[in-house]
Amino acid sequence: MELSVQGIVRRFGNVTALGGVDLDVAEGEFLTILGPSGSGKTTLLKTVAGFEIPDEGAVFLGGEDVTLAPPRKRDVGMVFQNYALFPHMTVARNVAFPLEMRGVRREEIRRRVEEALRLVELQGFGERLPRQLSGGQQQRVALARAVVFGPGLLLLDEPFGALDRKLREGLQLEVRRLQRRLRLTTLFITHDQEEALIMSDRIAVMDRGRIEQVGPPAEVYARPATRFVADFLGESNLLDGVLADGAVRIGGFTPVPLPGLPPGPVTLLLRPEALRLAEAAEAAPCRGRGRVIETVFLGLSVKLRVQMEDGPEMLARVPLRPSLPPPAQDGEWLAVGFAPEDVHVIPRG
Contact set with other proteins (CB under 8 A): 49-51, 53-55, 67-68, 70-72, 74, 76-78, 80-82, 84-88, 97-98, 101-102, 145-146, 149
Residues 154, 226: Cα–Cα separation, whole Å = 29
Residue 115 Cβ, how far from other proteins at the closest point, in Å?
A: 17
Nearer to other proteins, 51 or 333 (CB): 51
Residue 84 Cβ, how far from other proteins at the closest point, in Å?
A: 4
Shortest CA distance to 316 belongs to which of 348, 341, 290, 284? Answer: 290
Residue 116 Cβ, how far from other proteins at the closest point, in Å?
A: 13
**Is residue 309 exposed (0-12), middle (13-18) or buried (19+ Cβ within 10 Å)?**
middle
Residues 77, 65: Cα–Cα separation, whole Å = 18
91 close to 126: Cβ distance less than 8 angstroms? yes
Q: What is the DSSP string of 211-261?
A: EEEEE-HHHHHHS-SSHHHHHHSS--EEEEEEEETTEE--TTS--EE-TTS
Q: 10 Å Cβ neighbour count for 310?
A: 9
Residues 223, 327: Cα–Cα separation, whole Å = 28
Residue 176 Cβ, how far from other proteins at the closest point, in Å?
A: 22
Residue 328 Cβ, how far from other proteins at the closest point, in Å?
A: 45
Residue 69 Cβ, how far from other proteins at the closest point, in Å?
A: 9
Q: Alpha-carbon Rg of the chain, whole angstroms?
A: 25
Nearer to other proteins, 90 or 254 (CB): 90
172 close to 160: Cβ distance less than 8 angstroms? yes
Nearer to other proteins, 88 or 166 (CB): 88
Residue 153 Cβ, how far from other proteins at the closest point, in Å?
A: 11
Instruction: Mention every residue, 6+ apart, whose C-beta is less than 8 A from residue 106.
Output: none
Nearer to other proteins, 84 or 315 (CB): 84
Nearer to other proteins, 49 or 292 (CB): 49
Shortest CA distance to 289 belongs to which of 252, 255, 329, 317? Answer: 252
Residues 247, 261: Cα–Cα separation, whole Å = 9
Shortest CA distance to 25 belongs to which of 3, 41, 5? Answer: 3
Residue 144 Cβ, how far from other proteins at the closest point, in Å?
A: 12
Size (the chain), residues: 349
Using DSSP bridges, classify how beta strands 153-157 and 185-190 pair: parallel, antiparallel or unpaired.
Answer: parallel
Residue 102 Cβ, how far from other proteins at the closest point, in Å?
A: 6
